Amino acid sequence: MAAFPEDFRARLLDLMRSRRDMRRFRDEPVDKGLLRTCLDAFTLAPSVGLSDPWRVVSPDTPVARAAAGWEGRGGHRPLEAR
């Protein structure tokens, strides 16, 4: 298998170093196209024994956010593995 080019490896390492957890979230809806792109990439993430333990929800109304128990968090919370 060919090695990845040095510039790619350097950019990937920079990306990993700059990664951060988000603690504050906006109220604006995420663009559906961007959300689809992120979810498509999300499916490529490995999981132990192909268990795919993730559950993704996108409550887009105040009633849905309240039902999910997300009120008081800007209406959003990060994707979580369960």
Q: Is 68 exposed, middle or buried (0-12, 13-18, 19+ CB in 10 A)?
A: middle
Containing domain of residue 64, as a range? 29-44+51-82
Residue 81 CB contacts under 8 Å (≥ 6 apart), including other chains: 53, 54
Number of domains in the chain: 1
Indicate the average pLDDT of the chain.
Answer: 76
In a domain, 61, yes or no: yes
Q: Which residue has the higher pLDDT, 9 or 81?
A: 9
- At position 41, the amino acid (one-letter code) is A
Question: What pLDDT shows up at residue 81?
Answer: 42
pTM, full prediction: 0.49
In a domain, 24, yes or no: no
In a domain, 71, yes or no: yes
Question: What pLDDT shows up at residue 35?
Answer: 86
Question: What pLDDT shows up at residue 64?
Answer: 81
Kindly state the DSSP code that residue 52 receives in the 8-state scheme: -
